[in-house]
Amino acid sequence: MANVGVLGAGSWGTALSLLLHDNGHQVTVWSISEEEVKMLSEKREYEAKLPGVKLPRELVFTSNLEEALTGRDFLVLAVPSPFTRETARKMSPYIKEGQIIVDVAKGIEETTLMTLSQQIEQEIPQADVAVLSGPSHAEEVGRGLPTTCVIGAKTEKTAKYLQSMFISRVFRVYISHDILGIELGGSLKNVIALAAGIADGMGYGDNTKAALITRGIAEIARLGVKMGGKIETFTGLSGIGDLIVTCASVHSRNRKAGYLMGQGKTMEEAMKEVNMVVEGVYSAKAAAKLAEKYQVSMPIVEQVNKVLFEGKNPAEAVDELMLREVKSEH
């Protein structure tokens, strides 16, 4: 049995806390919100985000950061990506040398173009930072539906240790050393999912969705390989696997935000209605900047940015994508 601290009591942090508890571990969950801690401690259900998922009494919730971090075998960082750096900075004084931290959020920092693990390492250089990613909506993990993910770590020892902590009969875990590729796949697919949602909102069909997924993974892989990721990663769970589920699932907040924009709402109106952090909006500008920096063609990402931040009509964006200069597929 391991003693685990989970930072972030949103839907994903809560679902993983339940998974780890069911695996026999002692789990303490931290939230910055005392109100959220009180609600979860008393109701034992996150009705707004994980309705119907009952949380056992053994799960401890706290707003005391030191309590959540002290004496833990490993830590799970599950705060939304815009708050990763700030949270890591607050954690650093309590983190011992070699402390394993597995980041489970997805995003790229717009100002620095750093992945989340890079941000954590910058703020907590003494930590052993790993990542977990894949097609894994919290709503299904919380209900115990079969799910498969991949853990990326710098050493095989850390990867195998975390694999043994998370794996269960309903949560199969693979390992990889390609941390960068895993993070890029997990972050950039949210931008493509916004495009897929916009297409759904405009009433386009399955052909359109399949095209966006296929050409989307081509864009992600082009950039990822140029940056040093492995092509196998982008054809795997954290690449095409995560992209498919995020573009197609009713649970996808990025697809839902895109859907609302496809129906005519502004980006701000869509984010307000989704009422959760829409990671793709935060990653879109970073993706465009990376494409420019590495001189990689990413036309879907480019058009998503124009719809999000320049007020471009989605129908015009589709026209530009369809009527671009003809070319070979590969």
312 is catalytic: no
Q: Hey, what's the torsion of the CAs at 133, 47, 278, 241, to 10 degrees?
A: 30
* C-alpha dist (Å) from residue 143 to 11, 171, 183, 237, 318: 12, 11, 25, 20, 37
Q: What is the mean pLDDT of residues 160-179?
A: 98
Residue 275 binned pLDDT confidence (cut-offs 50, 70, 90): confident
Residue 280 binned pLDDT confidence (cut-offs 50, 70, 90): confident
Residue 320 binned pLDDT confidence (cut-offs 50, 70, 90): confident
Inside any domain, residue 118: yes
Residue 324 pLDDT > 80: no
Inside any domain, residue 330: no
Query: How big is the chain by its Cα radius of gyration, in Å?
Result: 19
Catalytic, out of 49, 189, 209, 230: 189
Q: What is the pLDDT of residue 325?
A: 73
281 with 236, same domain?
yes
* Residues of the domain holding 287: 184-322
44 with 86, same domain?
yes
**177, 205, 238 - which closes a domain:** 177
> pLDDT tens, 201-224?
999 999 999 999 999 999 999 999
Residue 78 pLDDT > 80: yes
Of 6-15, 147-156, 310-319, minimum mean pLDDT range: 310-319
Q: What is the pLDDT of residue 277?
A: 75
Binding-site residue positions: 8-13, 46, 83, 106, 134, 136, 138, 189, 242, 252-254, 277, 279
Q: What is the pLDDT of residue 244?
A: 97
316 with 262, same domain?
yes
> pLDDT tens, 17-75?
999 999 999 999 999 999 999 999 999 999 999 999 999 999 999 999 999 999 999 99
Is 268 exposed, middle or buried (CB count within 10 Å of its CB: 0-12, 13-18, 19+)? exposed
Overall number of domains in the chain:
2
Q: What is the pLDDT of residue 319?
A: 83
Binding-site residue positions for sn-glycerol 3-phosphate: 106, 134, 136, 189, 242, 252-254
188 with 220, same domain?
yes
Inside any domain, residue 134: yes
Inside any domain, residue 214: yes
Inside any domain, residue 37: yes
Q: What is the mean pLDDT of residues 143-163?
A: 98
Residue 276 pLDDT > 80: no
121 with 204, same domain?
no
Residue 274 pLDDT > 90: no
55 with 78, same domain?
yes
Tokens of 249: 């699932």
Q: What is the pLDDT of residue 330?
A: 77
Inside any domain, residue 82: yes
Binding-site residue positions for NAD(+): 8-13, 83, 138, 253
242 with 281, same domain?
yes
CATH code, 267: 1.10.1040.10
Inside any domain, residue 327: no
Inside any domain, residue 98: yes
> pLDDT tens, 92-116?
999 999 999 999 999 999 999 999 9
Q: What is the mean pLDDT of residues 295-309?
A: 95
242 with 159, same domain?
no
113 with 215, same domain?
no
**129, 152, 177 - which closes a domain:** 177
116 with 14, same domain?
yes
**124, 151, 177 - which closes a domain:** 177
CATH code, 135: 3.40.50.720
Give CA angle at 287 (218, 116), nearest 5°: 110
Question: Which among 216, 188, 213 is positioned nearest to 288, based on CA atoms?
Answer: 188
Query: Which residues face 152 on adjacent strands?
Result: 131, 176
Residue 272 pLDDT > 90: no
Binding-site residue positions for substrate: 106, 253-254
194 with 297, same domain?
yes
Question: Which among 29, 24, 38 is positioned nearest to 10, based on CA atoms?
Answer: 29
145 with 26, same domain?
yes
